[in-house]
Structure 1
Amino acid sequence: MKKVGKVATNEAVSAWGARLDTLIENKLTLSHDEAELHLYETFQKASLIQLRFNAPVMTSMLSGRKVMHLREMEPFNYQPGESLLLPSDRLMQIDFPDATTNDPTRCLALTISDEFIRETIAELNEQVPRVEAVDQWQLDIENYLLQNDPEISSLTDKLIRLFRENNPFKPFFIKNTLRELIVRLSQTQVRNGLLNQTSQHINTNRLAYVVTYIRENLTRTLSVEELCDKACLSKSHFFRLFKSELGVSPVQFILTERIRRAKAILSNPSKSITDACYESGFNSLTHFSSAFRSVEHMCPRQFKRQLFGLN
């Protein structure tokens, strides 16, 4: 790994109790047979700080903001709740536009053995094959930026705790948590592909076809039997594969798609809450309001007021 921009200081305090050698990308490194966890803190503004790792790496923002400069990508803001997967020896150039002593930028970088990743993915494909025989679980580490879901956020928090604790079972716990993280990341990438590039998979993947069918028929009642028939799968097989690749049950997916459509309708100033209710497939305002609150943690009226800054 290469790093530039060192500045010695005794003014700032590390959140992890690490020795403070520099205000820029001060690092605490913790090791395991299959991985290394690097915890970084930056306490002052800086530009084009260089980092690279000699193994595949997952970085995650913990606090503050960076601007990332990567090969074949436009510079982008990198913020808490996001993670980035990069291959071995990929140069990162990083700006820290907001970092201060009182409000540092913090992130982690988790390098994982390439062999360990391959073994985990191979076992996943053997034990839980995907819907289509031509598809394989894999982990794309080529500049892959993702929004952390609750499971990935929980696993990164758990790894920080496990790497730092003194426990005779620590190597075992870390190895199993790394395996779960790899599987969750692969699931997230498959799910994002099926949901965001559905048209690219519609002719080769039955779940992509079902997703398209659901989106085209949201305003009417959709039975699980109907969806199983569209997928040419038994009910039990359909449920298992749908949950495996999309992360939710078919009923939950239909609900979130209806709420997604309702939010788009509510974003139109000329549309009312009643319009959003019936045009997104709900048959009563009471049910719509309850379902919306369960997903968005606010009622439709609050969402619309917040969106347009209304009192």
Structure 2
Amino acid sequence: MRQTGKVVKNEAVSAWGNRLDTLVENKLTLSHDSAELHLYETFQQAHLIQLRFNAPVMTSMLSGRKVMHLREMEPFNYQPGESLLLPSDRLMQIDFPDATTDEPTRCLALTISDEFIRETIAELNEQVPRVETANEWQLDVENYLLQNDPEISSLTDKLIRLFRENNPFKPFFIKNTLRELIVRLSQTQVRTGLLQQTSQHINTNRLAYVVTYIRENLTRALSVEDLSDKACLSKSHFFRLFKSELGVSPAQFILSERIQLSKAILSNPTKTISDACYESGFNSLTHFSNAFRSIEHICPRQFKRQLFGLN
């Protein structure tokens, strides 16, 4: 790794409690048999700082903003709530346009051995095979950018705590948390592929076919029995596989899709709350309002008012 920065002679303070040797990418490294956790802090603006690792790496933004320059990708803003998977020895060039002593940029880089990833994925495929036997669980680390879901955010926070604590069970806890993180990342990639590239899989994956059917019939009553018949699976088998690959139950997925449709309808200034309710498959304004609030944390009327800047 190559990095530049001035020797610290001001009041910058590390959040991790380690010594500050530089204002740019000051690093604390913590080790485990199968992984290393690197915690970085940057306290001043910098450009095209080079960084690479000798193992597959997951980076996650904790605070501040970076601009990432990666091979075969346009430069992009990298912000909290996002993670990036990269293969071994992939060069990163990084800009820190906003970093200051008062508002530093902080991120983590978690390297995991190839062997540990392969063993975890192999065990996952053996114990919880995917719906289609032609498809297997895998972990794509080729410049893979993702939005952290609550589970992945929770696991990264847990790993920071575990790596830093003094506990005789620490290696055991870290190993199990790493395994769960690998599985969650693989699930996220499969789910993203099925939901965002559904048409590409509709003829080869029964869940992709079911997702398409749900989206085309949101205003109809959709039961698990009907959906499992579409997938040519038993009700219990369909429910288990749907949840393992998409991360939610069929009912939760249908509800989420209906709320997304209702938001699109509410974005039309000529449409009312009632229009959004019934045109997105709800048969009760009360149920619609409660469901909308549970997912969006705001009621439909407030959403529409904010959308159009109304008081």
Normalising by structure 1, report the TM-score.
Answer: 0.99
TM-fit CA distance, 1:3: 2.1
Partners of 1:3 and 1:62 in 2: how far apart? 22
Aligned match of 2:75: 75
- Asked if the contact 2:239/2:250 (under 8 Å) is kept, the reply is yes
Task: Determine helix, strand or coil for the equivalent of 2:204.
Answer: coil
Task: Determine helix, strand or coil for the equivalent of 2:283.
Answer: coil
> Which deviations, in whole Å up to 9, do the C-alpha atoms of 1:110-157 show, x marking residues without a partner?
000011000000000000000000000000000000000000000000
> Which deviations, in whole Å up to 9, do the C-alpha atoms of 1:233-252 show, x marking residues without a partner?
00110010000000001011
Q: Larger deviation: 21-30 or 4-13? A: 4-13
> Which deviations, in whole Å up to 9, do the C-alpha atoms of 1:85-131 show, x marking residues without a partner?
00000000111111000000000000000110000000000000000
Q: Given residue 10 of structure 1, which amino acid in structure 2 is its aligned partner?
A: K
TM-fit CA distance, 1:6: 2.5
Aligned match of 2:188: 188
Partners of 2:306 and 2:70 in 1: how far apart? 35
Verify: 1:211 aligned to 2:211, yes or no: yes
Verify: 1:112 aligned to 2:112, yes or no: yes
Task: Determine helix, strand or coil for the equivalent of 1:131.
Answer: coil
Aligned match of 2:145: 145
Aligned match of 2:36: 36
Q: Given residue 28 of structure 1, which amino acid in structure 2 is its aligned partner?
A: L
Which residues in structure 2 correspond to 1:1-311 (within 5 Å)? Answer: 2-11=1-10, 12-311=12-311
Task: Determine helix, strand or coil for the equivalent of 2:257.
Answer: helix
TM-fit CA distance, 1:266: 1.1
Partners of 1:264 and 1:242 in 2: how far apart? 26
Partners of 2:36 and 2:309 in 1: how far apart? 46
TM-fit CA distance, 1:278: 1.1
Task: Determine helix, strand or coil for the equivalent of 1:68.
Answer: strand
Q: Given residue 268 of structure 1, which amino acid in structure 2 is its aligned partner?
A: N
Partners of 1:177 and 1:260 in 2: how far apart? 32
- Asked if the contact 1:10/1:20 (under 8 Å) is kept, the reply is no
Q: Given residue 282 of structure 1, which amino acid in structure 2 is its aligned partner?
A: F
Q: Given residue 89 of structure 1, which amino acid in structure 2 is its aligned partner?
A: D
Task: Determine helix, strand or coil for the equivalent of 2:142.
Answer: coil
Partners of 1:302 and 1:65 in 2: how far apart? 30
Q: Given residue 281 of structure 1, which amino acid in structure 2 is its aligned partner?
A: G
Q: Given residue 181 of structure 2, which amino acid in structure 1 is its aligned partner?
A: L
RMSD of the TM alignment (CA)?
0.7
TM-fit CA distance, 1:10: 3.2
Normalising by structure 2, report the TM-score.
Answer: 0.99
Task: Determine helix, strand or coil for the equivalent of 1:161.
Answer: helix
Partners of 1:29 and 1:198 in 2: how far apart? 40
- Asked if the contact 2:3/2:25 (under 8 Å) is kept, the reply is no
How many pairs are equivalent?
A: 310
Q: Larger deviation: 299-308 or 20-29? A: 299-308
> Which deviations, in whole Å up to 9, do the C-alpha atoms of 1:31-88 show, x marking residues without a partner?
0000000000000011111100000000000000001010011111100000000000
Task: Determine helix, strand or coil for the equivalent of 1:309.
Answer: coil
The list of structure 1 runs, each at least 4 consecutive aligned residues, that deviate by more than 4 angstroms after superposition, is: none
Partners of 2:270 and 2:53 in 1: how far apart? 52
- Asked if the contact 2:56/2:86 (under 8 Å) is kept, the reply is yes
TM-fit CA distance, 1:183: 0.2
Task: Determine helix, strand or coil for the equivalent of 2:138.
Answer: coil
TM-fit CA distance, 1:191: 0.3
> Which deviations, in whole Å up to 9, do the C-alpha atoms of 1:207-266 show, x marking residues without a partner?
000000000000111111110100000011001000000000101100000001111111
Q: Given residue 74 of structure 2, which amino acid in structure 1 is its aligned partner?
A: E
Task: Determine helix, strand or coil for the equivalent of 1:3.
Answer: coil
Partners of 1:168 and 1:10 in 2: how far apart? 37
Q: Given residue 208 of structure 1, which amino acid in structure 2 is its aligned partner?
A: A
Query: Percent sequence identity over matched residues?
Result: 88
Partners of 1:211 and 1:273 in 2: how far apart? 26
